[in-house]
Each structure stands twice: as C-alpha cells, then as structure tokens.
Amino acid sequence: MAIPVVDPPRYDAQLDAKRERIVTAFARFSPPPLEVYPSPPSHYRQRCEFRLWHEHDDLFYAMFEVDPAEPGKKRVVRLEDFPVAGRRINELMPVLLDAIRDVPLLRRKLFQVEFLTTLSGEALITLIYHRPLDDAWEVEARGLQERLGVMIIGRSRKQRLVLERDHVWERLRVDGRDVVYQQVENSFTQPNAEICRSMLSWARDVTRGSQDGDLVELYCGNGNFTVALAENFRRVLATEISRISVASARRNLEANDIVNAVVGRMSAEDFARALKGEKGGRRVTEWSLADYDFTTVLVDPPRAGLDEESCHQLSEYSRIVYISCNPESLAENLEVLTRTHEIARFALFDQFPWTPHCECGVLLERRP
C-alpha cells in the first residue's frame, strides 16, 4: 500500500470522490441521501506504528511502499514527520529519536516504535526490541519516560514490561456530554478520534427514542458504541470475543457510570446460537436472555463482513445499525438484509483520508 500523501487543499476533492464512489456502488439499494462526515484533513490518527531504521550512526523512522522501478519489491521511505498522525505524535517523533540516539541500552536492536495518544495529549510509547530487556534497560527507560512526559512499554520476544500503565484515557465530547474510554496498548481502538466522535453522534441520533426496547450489540470491542448508546435503550447486552477488549469495555461502562449495560465474552456466532437456545452454559444463564426485548441490533464486524447465516439472524430484529469498514462486504450483506429491511439512514465517515478506505453506517428498518 502506498503511504498516504497529505495535501489539505485537495481534501474536499478526495472526499467528493469517495462520496461519488459510495453513491454509485449502493445505488441499487435505493438508499436515502448519503450523509457525509469529513475528517480533519491532516493530523487525524491517534495511533501509529513505525519501523526504526539503523544506518551506521543514523537513526530514523521508516515505512515501506512498492518500488515503482521494481513492483515486486518494497523500498524504505524515510519519515521526518508524518502528517497523517496526530500532532502529539509528531511532537514526540523527533524528541524520542534524539533521546535514544546515543544511549546504547535504549537503541540497540530497537526495531519498532508504536504511539498511542489522545486528543487531550496523553501518550503511550511502545518500544519493541530484537533482544531481551533487563534491569539496566528498565532504569534507562524510566528516565526516558520522565523526560518525555509519556508512558513507556518495552516489548521483546515473550516480554512485556509496563513501566506505568498499559493504556491511555480518551475523552470525547459527544452531543454535549463527555464520554471517556480506556484504550489499551496493542488492542483495537478507533484511530481517528474526531471521526469516532461523529460516528457515535450519528449512532445516537439514529437510535433515539428507543427507551422502551433493548439493544444487542455484536463485536462491541472496548465498548465504544455501548457507552454512547446506553442511555437510548432500556438495557444493552454487548458481546465481544477478545478477552482484553471485554475487560476494557467493562471498565469503560464503570468509568461512565453506565448501569443498564452488560458486556459478555462470546463470539457473534455462538451468541446467535445462544439466542436460539442452541447454546447454554453459565454465562448464558447469567445473562437471563428471556428478560430482554431486543428491538435493535448493532453490528460492527471485521472487514470480511457477516456470513449469510448471520445476516439472516440480524433480519429477525426490527432495526439494524450496521457499521462497516469495508463497503464491498457491506454491499454483499445488504443483498440479504434488504430482502426484509429497507435503508432508512446511510452515512459515510472519512475515517482514513487520502486512502481508498471508507467507513459506512447504515440504519435498516423492517419493511411493513
């Protein structure tokens, strides 16, 4: 994949091209007018990872792209800064290099650096090595952490040394209220915080007036939507397969004083069977599924989308909120879902400017 070329004066043109592509690709479903949510044209990613390249005494951040002269090979691209990344990351990039360049204990066999930041300026830096990390490394790393005003994690094969904590706290203002999220190192979080804010506001809007019913959420991650939507429903039951994400989602419910939502660890496929009474166990019994009146389902699946069986399962709900990071798999799923439901709202979120990727939101309501 080519490294995005950020050119803010051209932002509107690239967004218009995406809008036209999505409108054309989904015209066969006769959706309502597309709602388009722009991203900041630069400095929009709150997390990034870079290879660290060593050339004799030189040290620099590197990414890779296809070599136009030899398409079968990739070339190293030196990065002095990275306009895709948030301003806090760009501030830290040169400072970190200067701090470790002449410190062998921190530099030797360091091959990758990962940044996780927030809009408020919290920063977590993960340093990844091709060697074991010892007490001497930890002493130097703690000094580095204090000098930079960040948190640091050291990683190597079968090692993970957390010097302070393994997460940051993001705070987003959504529809006049603050929501906070624990975002854990090396687990999935929404990379574009401003677009995440837009997605949460849109999802709240399309589910407003649902307090008489319950929400079931699949692939809930760290509770990103769960936290923001809970007040729109009587109760929420959310599921996720990642153990780390489930723990983080539960922490986020607690941090936001959400008392009407439960997060359970189970795959979407197993949960579908549990709803049909085909899968039991202690966890399912504790959820008391019979006490819920699920009127809405929210699904935010991986890029592959949903299989046909899962689409048929969704079709049993009156209302479907589908968040998609892949328009192609979304279109395939809509071929099934629109047999029973019609598209009531349709949105494009420019999560990844300067790339072909599009994030979409669809509200489907059961046909009369």
Catalytic residue among 325, 342, 360, 365: 325
Q: How far apart are CA 319 and CA 321, in angstroms?
A: 7
Residue 153: CA count within 13 A, CB half-sphere: 21
DSSP structure class, residue 317: S
β-pairing verdict for 167-174 and 319-324? unpaired
Tokens, residue 31: 């959706």
Angle, helices 11-25/327-337, rounded to nearest 10 degrees: 30
Comparing CA positions, the residue from 121, 129, 203, 91 lying closest to residue 140 is 129
Residue 354: strand, helix, or coil: coil
Catalytic residue among 122, 220, 359, 360: 359
Tokens, residue 159: 């090692």
CA distances 318 to 314, 342, 366, Å, are 9, 11, 5
Q: How far apart are CA 284 and CA 163, in angstroms?
A: 37
Respond yes or no: is residue 196 known to be catalytic: no
Respond yes or no: is residue 185 known to be catalytic: no
CA distances 284 to 266, 294, 309, 312, Å, are 9, 16, 21, 21
Tokens, residue 363: 């509200």
Q: How far apart are CA 101 and CA 94, in angstroms?
A: 10
Long-range contacts formed by 50-54: CB under 8 A, 24+ apart:
50/79, 50/82, 50/112, 50/113, 50/114, 51/111, 51/112, 52/110, 52/111, 52/112, 52/113, 53/78, 54/107
Q: Encode burial over 124-159: b for 16+ CB neighbours within 10 A, e otherwise.
A: bbbbbbeeebeeebeebbeebbeebebbbbbbbeee
The residues assigned a catalytic role are 325, 359
